[in-house]
Chains A and B, each alone.
Chain A
């Protein structure tokens, strides 16, 4: 899996590419936490557009980042969520606490 970070004024965009599972969750966690530790951004936009697979290891890793962002007073928003990824996010209870936007621009705008 590849994790691409794009820093914008309103927040950090995290583009996930590939499969988010037990094995790759550590990559996601390490890359995002390293950037968050710099304290340059408060908010996170997670873009699932190119994510082809996710299981409960992904739920755990996203929840972990959500707690970090929240502890620093920031927000998290999702975008590019496919039907299958939506099911997993919903089962994990994430959709009751995190909003889904259709694309990155709308997600960033929601953080203004």
Chain B
């Protein structure tokens, strides 16, 4: 039996990023960190997708994570990015735990549209909330790590390195979760929900648990994005942001916990290049890329690796 090398590979890639980080330009470090943040959200979406659920509103938890991180700094004067990420994950998980009682009852298009509606409700609330900056949002406190404030020249690198570490830890936990009986239920739920019930377990509870985990990952991603960009606004909950996450998840495929990070990196590159070449029609380039992907790689980029292995 081949030993699964998923985590060592991801660890090695993250180590390379951390070691090569000081050599990278600031814009590249920014792209890497945003890719990690969005990859975390896509990792959560992947968990749901394995059970056949597509959340069209995962930006809800991305935005909650970001606003929690921002609020921790704004209202409690805490700029530590680790605290911000933990708080972002905790608040997102708590909200998901409550909303999960409703959402775990629905499947298919109903689940998707209900999740979308909830994210748009948050968007509407934030737009109307002057205390949180209304449509302009607000700036996030400059980052510190364990009480140390990096110099201006190093802050991007430190944020990227901490992001790598947190993403690696979160991914390792998800990897382990997928090997537990609960994690292994997802494909069975997708295939035949009734039979899963007749095996003696609750499908609704299993979906509820997946939903909370996905939200916590999105919360971490949102907090990391807030720290990286230094500014948050209600657009983080807008449906186009959720669309980006679905794009990344489809681009990546559900074959591995590493795939969402690869998908997020490729998405970032396509987005940046397309915007650079054609600022007014960059969405067309993204659309074309998605179209080509669905036609030629319906199981996502990760299927390139599994195909080669199968050959």
- Do the two shown chains form a genuine complex with each other? no
**A: which residues have CB within 8 A of B?**
none
